[in-house]
Structure 1
Amino acid sequence: MLRDDLKAAQIAAMKGGDKPRTAAIRQIMAKIKDQDIAMRTADGSGDDDAMVVDVLRKMAKQRRESIAMYRHGGRDELADAEENELTVIEEFLPAQMDEAATRAAIEAIKAETGAEGMKDMGKVMGLLKQRHGSQLDMGKASALVKAVLG
Structure 2
Amino acid sequence: MSDLKQQITEQMKAAMRARDKVRLGAIRLILSDLNRIEVDERIELDDTRVLASLDKMAKQRRDSIAQYLAAERPELADKEQQELEVIKTFLPQPLSDSDIEQIIDDAINATGASSMQQMGQVMALVKPRVQGRADMGQVSTRVKARF
Normalised to the residue count of structure 1, the TM-score between the two structures is 0.89
Q: CA deviation at 1:96?
A: 2.3
For 1:63 and 1:139, locate their aligned partners in 2 and report how far apart those are by CA, in whole Å: 15
The equivalent of 1:58 in structure 2 is 56
Aligned to 2:15: 13
% identical equivalent positions: 41
Shift >3 Å, 4+ stretches: 130-136
Query: Which residue in 1 is equivalent to 2:100?
Result: 102
- What is the rounded CA distance, in whole Å, between the counterparts of 2:129 and 2:92 in structure 1? 14
CA–CA distance in structure 2, aligned partners of residues 15 and 130 of structure 1: 35
User: Number of matched residues?
Assistant: 145
2:78 to 77, 80, 85: 80
Distance verdict in 2 for CA 1:102–1:118, change over 3 Å: same
8 Å CA contact retained: 2:5, 2:47: yes
Q: Is the 8 A contact 2:54 2:132 kept in 1?
A: no
Gaps of 5+ in 2: none
1:127 and 2:125 aligned: yes
TM-score, normalised to structure 2's length? 0.90
Instruction: Choose from 139, 142, 146 the match for 1:141.
Output: 139
What is the CA RMSD across the aligned residues, in angstroms? 1.6
> Does the 8 Å contact 1:50/1:134 carry over to 2?
no
Q: Which runs of 5+ in 1 are unaligned?
A: none
Aligned to 2:88: 90
Amino acid at match of 1:25: I
